[in-house]
Amino acid sequence: MKSSKPVSWTVVIAMLLSTTALTQAQGDPARQFDGQSAALRKPGTRIRIDLIGDSTQTDHAGYGRGFCANLTAQVDCLNMAKGGASTSTYREEGLWARALQTKPDYMVIQFGHNDLVSKEHLSRQVPLEQYAENLKRYVLEARADGITPVLVTPVTRRYFGSDGKIHSDLSAYSDAMRSVARELKVPLIDLQSESIAWLDREGEAVGNTLAITKKDAAGKTVFDKTHLNWAGSFVFGRMVAVGLGNAVPSLKHYVRSRAAKLPPEGEKDMRILNGAAVTIVLVGDSTVAPQGGWGPAFCADMTRNVTCIDDALNGRSTKSLIAEGAWKRALAQRGDYYLIQFGHNDEKPDSARHTDPGTTYDANLRVYIADVRAIGAVPVLISPLARRTFRDGKPYNEDLQRYADAARHVAEEEDVTFIDLLSLSDAVLDGMTQAQADDFDATGHPDENAENPTAKLDRTHLNDRGKKVFGRIVADQLIRTRVELGPDVIGVTASAAPSADNRGPMTPKQLSPQ
């Protein structure tokens, strides 16, 4: 893009879809990982079992949490699955090396959904022969480290035919895994066969009750045929847990005798997914607030089922919002979700607002998280919106990056959903010239001089066009992580949206769908 003419927000969204930086930003805000402590186990546990696989094993979109819930408290159940991973990319991205560092006793390994070669021939996809070889390598390396591998054929996609039966696209890959298990004498859980049998018996309508949602090309909310909600996680997670006890008889006494029930969090998420009313509260500074922030457009992207309250205030930091009592008032809204974004004013030098990333900024974010959880709500941390000031042809936000890194770190430690808006907004700007980026600039914002004392243009706050772009990005990112909110976001056509489904970033411990 070399022209300096203004860019419409729909064009910007189209750029997002092909931006490498966005793809990286949509990846997992990586699970907090310390190689030196990775092998430490939960007190009171006797064995550790790792889940190794793709999004259909993860906690928020797969059967991971249902599997772990069906094991006894003597098991340290660690979910190392990664959305979008195949037998190839799980190794290439260093995730296998990390998993080995956790020193589990058993690894429950399931791949296939992303290995399956499609007409697009994505780089993560591998043919059957390579798939089998990759599985063998995982098995042999696990055994070399004293770990017992257990293979799991991939859970079926819920593709029902006109005959009312499942027509799986993963049969060949499941057969290849069975062959590897026979050849190397690996315990096998045949989840592909069992999940097909269960769905054939229960039917498509019941299968849909286990699904999360996504948006189709027309923006309509439809059932996701691959990924699982809480109920689906506990159905198929139970199958895998029982299957593990059967495949490895010595583990049978670690499997709960009765199927686990959904915890209160799961019950609430299912109510929301099925249409319960929701209140979302936004808190932060002027880049979220109504006059010059993305908040109003985010709220406009919500359905009528959502009460969306923008309590962000101009000029505030993590420190001053609390000190002035504004945070207490926001908590009094009794929201179900709190989206929290600060940074622009935390870096200001005055003592009433200044905080330091790594110390006081982090401590304040932890206060927000604890307070939100204390009222039974869900906190979501968001890194600061990028400023639109260019250096050497690129947006310059190194000062805000320190706060974004700190917010990510807190989210990882607290197991809180994290939306890296700084990276996402930088990705938008990275494909622009300064003149094009200025097409988002606000005029007449009361904080303009405070934010931009030497600039002629307000390159911090947003006009209506900018609000639409960045509000939509936050909305789509939110439902990629908090999948139960998928039906509560108004869909748009694929050509005008940064995402047309729920694929993308996860909470640090609940890794993404593919």
pLDDT tens digits, 254-264: 999 999 999 99
From residue 161, alpha-carbon distances to 154, 167, 168, 477 in Å are: 19, 6, 10, 32
Q: Is the pLDDT of residue 502 over 50?
A: no
Across the range 459-479, mean pLDDT stands at: 95
Whether 408 contacts 420, CB under 8 Å:
yes
Helices (H), 348-463: 360-374, 398-414, 421-430, 434-437, 448-451
Half-sphere exposure of 252 (CA within 13 A, CB side): 5
pLDDT of residue 445: 73
Confidence of residue 480 (pLDDT cuts 50, 70, 90): confident
Tell me the one-letter amino acid at 249.
P
Confidence of residue 21 (pLDDT cuts 50, 70, 90): very low
pLDDT of residue 457: 86
Across the range 389-396, mean pLDDT stands at: 92
pLDDT-wise least confident of 32-41, 68-77, 131-140, 191-200 = 32-41
H or E stretch at 18: none
d(CA 461, CA 291): 9
More confident residue, 209 or 444: 209
Token pair 């895994």 in the structure block, residue: 177
d(CA 496, CA 12): 9
Whether 334 contacts 308, CB under 8 Å:
no
pLDDT of residue 455: 63
Whether 233 contacts 270, CB under 8 Å:
no
Burial pattern 256-267, b for ≥16 Cβ within 10 A else e, equals beeebebeeebe
Confidence of residue 25 (pLDDT cuts 50, 70, 90): very low
Q: Is the pLDDT of residue 510 over 80?
A: no
The mean pLDDT value of the chain amounts to 90
Domains and CATH numbers, the chain: 9-23+273-481 (3.40.50.1110), 31-262 (3.40.50.1110)
Across the range 12-41, mean pLDDT stands at: 52
Whether 106 contacts 50, CB under 8 Å:
yes
SS3 of 322, please? helix
pLDDT of residue 22: 34
Tell me the one-letter amino acid at 45.
T
Q: Which of 108, 114, 77 is closest to 93 using CA atoms?
A: 114
Q: DSSP labels for 170-222?
A: -HHHHHHHHHHHHHHT--EE-HHHHHHHHHHHH-HHHHHTTEEEEE-TTS-EE
Across the range 410-430, mean pLDDT stands at: 95
Give the pairing type, strands 306-310 and 394-395.
Answer: unpaired
342 Cα distance to chain centroid: 20
Residue 197, φ and ψ in degrees, nearest 5: -60, -40
Whether 346 contacts 355, CB under 8 Å:
yes
Q: Which of 166, 159, 172, 152 is closest to 54 using CA atoms?
A: 152
Across the range 337-345, mean pLDDT stands at: 98
pLDDT of residue 500: 27
Confidence of residue 496 (pLDDT cuts 50, 70, 90): low
- Express as a percent the part of the chain with pLDDT over 70: 88
Q: What is the pTM of this model?
A: 0.86
Residue 476, φ and ψ in degrees, nearest 5: -70, -35
pLDDT of residue 280: 98
The first and second tokens of residue 513, run together, are 């769908």
The first and second tokens of residue 305, run together, are 């089922």
Q: Is the pLDDT of residue 495 over 90?
A: no
d(CA 438, CA 187): 59
Residue 281, φ and ψ in degrees, nearest 5: -115, 130
306-321 pLDDT, tens per residue? 999 999 999 999 999 9
Q: Is the pLDDT of residue 184 over 50?
A: yes
CB neighbourhood size of 290 (10 A):
16
E strands within 80-123? 106-110
Confidence of residue 29 (pLDDT cuts 50, 70, 90): very low
Q: Which of 355, 212, 361 is closest to 272 using CA atoms?
A: 212
d(CA 325, CA 348): 20
pLDDT of residue 513: 35
